[in-house]
Amino acid sequence: MTYIGRFAPSPTGPLHAGSLVAALASWLDARAHGGTWLVRIENVDTPRCVPDADTGILAQLAALGMAPDAPPTWQSRRGDRYEAALAQLRRGGWAYPCVCSRSDIAAALARAGVPQVAHVERVYPGTCRPPTMASTDVAPAVPWRRTPAWRLRTRTPAGEDIVIAWHDRLLGPQRQDVTQAVGDFVLKRADGLWAYQLAVVVDDAAQGITDVVRGEDLADNTARQIHLQRTLGLPTPRYLHTPL
Ligand code: GLU
């Protein structure tokens, strides 16, 4: 069986006990399968990145005997790949521009009577979502009132919810109604930064990742990533989420 795994730290500081568990789990799983193990530095969220944390992380891994089987990659060098994926989603009508500010979203949700729950990410009310899946890879008819973010539709072309069922090698069967739980999520922020969801899906596919082994705190992202893989026509890897 082909096995390509990866550890994909965000360079926001040194690896802590939790991230080392994820690193060790992905390394051990790759070794146990006679597979390849890669390291990808996920530095797209530049304001959260700490200078030199990437070299520190690679040194920590090397000190523990976890050497990747190929040179590490940096997401900051892969913007053209993310742009190409976004263009594909725009052509297919899956991605659309959103000019809502945080307060626009809060006001729209308040008007719709949706209560605000502390620390819970709010579901985008769909204010900017075009009524049809026509290509959005065209110049806007009226200039945008501000630089847009780009969101991914979480409805089927027939308007149904996107319900993703997937299997986790440790947690067992999983299921999420992405439309209700998350809503149309951001692929590229208005400030030009790429969202984790898009970058991780494009890179896992580009690197031929067959097995994602990562911390359980990320399990909740998996359904979104599978929806994105399907809209981009990319394969879905196997998943294993480790206890924190
Ligand atoms: N870069 C993410 C993090 O450090 C992990 C991404 C992943 O493993 O999918 O939280």
| pTM of the predicted model over 0.75 | yes
Residues with CB under 6 A from ligand 1: 8-10, 42, 200, 214, 218
Q: What is the pLDDT of residues 12-62, one digit of tens each?
A: 999 999 999 999 999 999 999 999 999 999 999 999 999 999 999 999 999
How confident is the model at residue 116, as a pLDDT? Answer: 84
Ligand 1 centroid–CA 117 distance in Å is 26
**Range name among 24-38, 79-93, 116-130, 191-205 with the lowest pLDDT average:** 116-130
- How confident is the prediction for the chain on average, in pLDDT? 96
pLDDT at position 206 over 90: yes
Ligand 1 centroid–CA 53 distance in Å is 15
**Interior/surface letters 131-147, b for 16+ CB within 10 angstroms, e for the rest:** eeeeebeeeeeeeeeee
3-state secondary structure of 125: coil
In a mutational test of the pocket of ligand 1, which residue from 4, 6, 10 has the highest number of ligand atoms less than 8 Å from its CB?
10
Q: How far is it, in rounded angstroms, from Cα 153 to Cα 132?
A: 11
3-state secondary structure of 158: coil
Q: Which residues pair with 187 in a beta bridge?
A: none
Ligand 1 centroid–CA 9 distance in Å is 5
73-74 and 149-152 strand pairing: unpaired
Q: How far is it, in rounded angstroms, from Cα 135 to Cα 93?
A: 4
For 55-92, give the DSSP string.
Answer: HHHHHHHHHTT---SS--EEGGG-HHHHHHHHHHHHHT
